[in-house]
Amino acid sequence: MHQRPEYSIVVLCYGSGDLVYGFVNEAIKCLLANKIHDYQLVLVGNYFKNSNDLTPEILKTLAKNNPRITAVTKQKRGMMGWDMRAGLTAATGKYISVIDGDGQMPVEDLVTVYKQLVNSDYDLVKTFRTTREDGASRKIISSAFNVIFRLLFPSVKSKDINSKPKIFSRANYEKLNLRSDDWFIDAEIMIQAGRLGFTIGEVPTHFRAATRGDGSFINAFTFLEFMNNLMKFRIKEFWKKKR
């Protein structure tokens, strides 16, 4: 694979284990069926010290057997935000997307957002979840977060801040200055996109039930973490505008 593929896809695989095999196989099959041959899969499986998670070794094996796969397997110094930033750093493509690798987001969305971005004037394209199978508590948390986000950041035109995949050109990615190490990284992308005046396109998707044995990472604690970060970023954005 040459150094600058057309399309890099960052797949967040932390703790996914054997689920990665199915996701990768489906993703590659879907890309090729849609005549997207010049791609890079960046599989991110960072780990905590003394963890029994087999995901890093699975990713290394996949990368060894496929030159279009890059494995990012580092000892963790943060949560999802840290993982995403590590994957984005390893992505070398002209266009870059990010998606969770647990199968809740259909792999077909990777093609949908790519085509929408390439064939439009949008700076960033993402999905929004019109139907969900992840349970009532997740729906309530997500709805509350989106309502509060829109109240605090009305200039960011998005129905579903945390939904993936998100895709942007390399040039636009390099305009972002992402810092979040935690679950707030998706919101940080959207806040910075709004500040930079990005035009944002959204396409509908269906969010599947969790396939992980340990369920979702999102709970009341992460919701409180979101709220704390929202207030901090609202204050930061206020002072940036005052300068």
Give the predicted TM-score (pTM) of the model. 0.92
| Residue bearing tokens 């199978």 | 133
Q: 60-63 — which CB contacts under 8 Å span 24+ positions?
A: 62/20, 62/21, 62/24
The per-residue pLDDT string of the chain (243 residues; one tens digit each, 9 = 90 and over) reads 557 999 999 999 999 999 999 999 999 999 999 999 999 999 999 999 999 999 999 999 999 999 999 999 999 999 999 999 999 999 999 999 999 998 899 999 999 999 999 999 999 999 999 999 888 888 888 898 899 999 999 989 899 999 999 999 999 999 999 999 998 999 999 999 999 999 999 999 999 987 755 555 566 677 788 888 888 888 877 666 655
Q: Which CATH class is domain 7-242?
A: alpha beta
Contact 92, 3 (CB under 8 A): yes
Compute CA 230 distance to the chain's CA centroid, rounded to the nearest angstrom.
18
d(CA 17, CA 47): 12
Q: Where are the domains of the chain?
A: 7-242
d(CA 27, CA 24): 5
